[in-house]
Amino acid sequence: METLTPLARRSATARRRCTSTCRHARIHVTTRQQTEFIDLTDGLESLVVDAGLRFGILNVQTLHTTTAVIVNEHEPLLLTDFQRILEAVAPGDGRYRHDDTFARTVNMTGAERPNGHAHCRALLLPTSACLNVTGGRLLLGEWQRVFLVELDGPRERDLSVLLFGEAGQ
């Protein structure tokens, strides 16, 4: 484990090698299923490496109201359990006022979908994950992975990623 030393107490050489950085990236994902867990971890790790980030923070945020970003284990049976729980909480065949296009008067488009269930599911999940970066890598537990959770697919989705911290050797 590396120990963080305040910049002021580091040698002049070490201070010259380290610089602050702030980077932004956008990730585009094409989902294939109504409810889907898409592992983003390897792609996020690549962004950390490309940015040269040694110590800092990566924040990944969905740009949609019917998706979520979670950190959990990538185990197929567990992901099936998650889908079952989401269906129990907000059934896809349930009745939602949001889906009543005769009563609803705002935020309507020509391609409106009956997706009240997806919005209700999203209410229970986070829209972003803030992750530590140490030693040039995401700091994740042994089984932790970062997922985009699609709740109203299949669709085209975008995520915003901010990386900030100390870059250098």
Map out the domains of the chain as residue ranges. Answer: 20-76+126-168
CA-to-CA separations, 127 to 20, 31, 67, in angstroms, rounded: 26, 17, 7
**Fold designation for 20-76+126-168:** Jelly Rolls (2.60.120)
Band (pLDDT 50/70/90 cuts) for residue 87 is very high
- Positive/negative CA dihedral, 17, 18, 24, 26: positive
Query: So what's the pLDDT on residue 107?
Result: 87
Band (pLDDT 50/70/90 cuts) for residue 111 is confident
pLDDT higher than 70, residue 16: no
Q: For the ranges 7-16, 49-58, 61-70, 95-104, which has the lowest average pLDDT?
A: 7-16
Place of tokens 């390897």: 42
Interval 34-78: pLDDT, tens: 999 999 999 999 999 999 999 999 999 999 999 999 999 999 999
Query: So what's the pLDDT on residue 148?
Result: 99
